[in-house]
């Protein structure tokens, strides 16, 4: 294997330095956001990302026009589609516009990866390799975030990181010079191994449930903070429909919820009352892996009371006020029907006149899925997910072996 050239070394050094920047910024992101929001509207972050994306698209179109003397419709269409996806995605993140910064972080990483990989890969697999490495870095980003106090694991961030990695490589496939060689067997092996690394790392994340984290914390007490509250990677549960308009997620089945409410109402009510002005302390010390029923009841109470408090700050009958009232009423409905016995024995039930006032102010036709436990995986069971991941991994290993053992093609006799 030829030694790495100075140019190649510098390009990989740039990749490594940018990854270090991404990882070292993790503990400071919240502080930077608070500093910014204290002085300017948070939406300016998202608007800034949109302006950068649109400017880069325009620059790409100008570059193509100058380099090729004629701008092909297909190339322009690809750049415009990538730009539209990023702008639309950023706009949908305006509730938390700082999340859109992932597009810039991983967009820059994608460009640096392409430049570094291109020194050794001369075929179009370079774009897929850049995507897979970007996804790997994005997963490690979230794992580090999980380990940092005050930060949380979020699969949505992996989607943002991966989405940015994919889109930037799609854009580069149009802007960069066309690859000079057909895809080689070695390149396919490389892609199989990178994809297998992604599957292995994701499998670890899907297996990192609170119960396993609890067992690990028993061996390593320094990890105890990682098993409290929502500071977990993967949890599995159920999506329950309360009625045609209201749904919620739970780690427990409806039968288990009913049993817990019937047998532990007094005990749970006492714990809820003890946490009235100590919600943050409750989250630090109550693990959903140990007592999911009490934990979920308290978080639904917090969601209900926070929405009701937000509504009091808004002008009555406005859409925002109606939305907050709707969420507050539906959260209370979940509490009454699912955690009813514990709620009735606590100090949290609403007075009849207050309940009636909030019910009359809600949008009775609005569909609400409670955000409590939004990270709980309900679409597939852990066992099914594990089976799928193992199957994909086995398929990738087999492909790698077949590519390795395949005899080199011979030129036909002249």
**What residue spans define the domains of the chain?**
6-183, 185-231+380-405, 238-369
Give the gyration radius of the chain's Cα atoms. Answer: 26
Cα distances (angstroms) measured from residue 45 to each of 35, 49, 96 = 12, 6, 9
Structure tokens at 97: 């516009």
pLDDT of residue 212: 78
Helix axes 185-207, 382-405, angle to 10 degrees: 160
Provide DSSP, 370-394: --TTTTSB-SS-HHHHHHHHHHHHH
Closest to 362 in 3D by CA, of 331, 336, 314, 328: 328
* pTM confidence score: 0.85
The stretches in the chain having pLDDT less than 70 are 1-4, 68-70, 150, 217, 220-232, 406-414
Q: Which among 24, 3, 27 has a CA at the least distance from the CA of 149?
A: 27
How far is C-alpha 233 from the geometric centre of its chain's CA atoms?
Answer: 10
**Do 282 and 275 contact (CB within 8 A), yes or no?**
yes
How far is it, in rounded angstroms, from Cα 111 to Cα 127?
A: 10
CB 108 within 8 A of CB 17: no
Sequence-distant contacts of 378-387: CB under 8 A, at least 24 apart:
378/236, 378/237, 378/238, 378/239, 378/249, 381/236, 382/206, 382/207, 382/209, 382/234, 382/236, 385/206, 386/203, 386/206, 386/207
Question: Which residues lie closer than 8 Å to 390 by C-beta, 6 or more apart?
Answer: 203
pLDDT given at position 97: 87
Phi and psi angles of residue 230, each rounded to the nearest 5 degrees, phi first: -90, 10
Query: Which residues on adjacent β-strands are paired with residue 246?
Result: 368
Q: What 3-state DSSP class applies to 368?
A: strand
For 188-214, write each residue's pLDDT tens digit: 999 999 999 999 999 999 988 877 777
User: Partners of 247 in the beta sheet?
Assistant: 241, 369
Q: Which of 293, 159, 129, 152 has its CA nearest to residue 234? A: 152
Three-class SS of residue 158? helix
Instruction: Quote the CA–CA distance of 95 and 366 in Å, as a whole number.
Output: 20
Looking at residue 42, the DSSP 8-state letter turns out to be T
pLDDT of amino acid 1: 40
């Amino acid at each position: 294997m030829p030694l790495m050239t100075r140019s190649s070394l510098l390009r990989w050094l740039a990749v490594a330095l940018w990854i270090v920047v991404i990882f070292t910024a993790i503990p400071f992101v919240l502080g930077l956001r608070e500093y910014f929001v204290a002085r300017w509207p948070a939406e300016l972050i998202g608007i800034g990302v949109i302006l950068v994306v649109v400017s880069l698209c325009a620059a790409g179109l100008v570059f193509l026009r100058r380099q090729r003397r004629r701008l092909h419709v297909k190339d322009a269409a690809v750049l415009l589609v990538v730009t539209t996806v990023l702008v639309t995605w950023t706009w949908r993140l305006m509730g938390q516009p700082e999340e859109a910064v992932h597009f810039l972080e991983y967009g820059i990483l994608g460009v640096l990866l392409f430049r570094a990989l291109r020194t050794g890969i001369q075929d179009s697999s370079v774009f897929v390799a850049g995507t897979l490495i970007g996804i790997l870095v994005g997963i490690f980003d979230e794992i580090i975030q999980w380990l940092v106090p005050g930060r949380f694991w979020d699969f949505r961030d992996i989607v943002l990181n991966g989405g940015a990695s994919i889109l930037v490589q799609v854009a580069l496939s149009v802007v960069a010079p066309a690859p000079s060689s057909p895809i080689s067997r070695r390149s396919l092996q490389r892609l199989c191994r990178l994809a297998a690394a992604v599957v292995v790392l994701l499998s670890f994340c899907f297996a990192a449930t609170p119960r396993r984290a609890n067992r690990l914390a028993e061996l390593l007490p320094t990890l105890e903070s990682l098993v409290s509250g929502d500071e977990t990677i993967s949890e599995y549960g159920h999506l329950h429909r309360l009625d045609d308009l209201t749904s919620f997620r739970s780690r427990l089945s409806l039968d288990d919820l009913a049993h817990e409410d019937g047998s532990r109402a007094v005990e749970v009510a006492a714990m809820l009352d003890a946490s009235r002005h100590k919600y943050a302390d409750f989250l630090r010390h109550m693990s959903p892996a140990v007592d999911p029923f009490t934990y979920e009841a308290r978080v639904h109470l917090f969601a209900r009371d926070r929405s009701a408090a937000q509504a009091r700050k808004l002008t009555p009958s406005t859409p925002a006020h109606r939305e907050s009232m709707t969420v507050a009423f539906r959260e209370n409905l979940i509490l009454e029907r699912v955690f009813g016995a514990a709620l009735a024995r606590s100090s949290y039930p609403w007075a009849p006149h207050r309940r009636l006032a909030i019910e009359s102010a809600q949008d009775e036709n609005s569909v609400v899925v409670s955000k409590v436990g939004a990270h709980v995986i309900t679409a597939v069971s852990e066992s099914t997910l594990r089976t799928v991941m193992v199957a994909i991994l086995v398929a990738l290993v087999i492909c790698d072996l077949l590519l390795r053992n395949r005899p080199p093609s011979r030129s036909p006799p002249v």
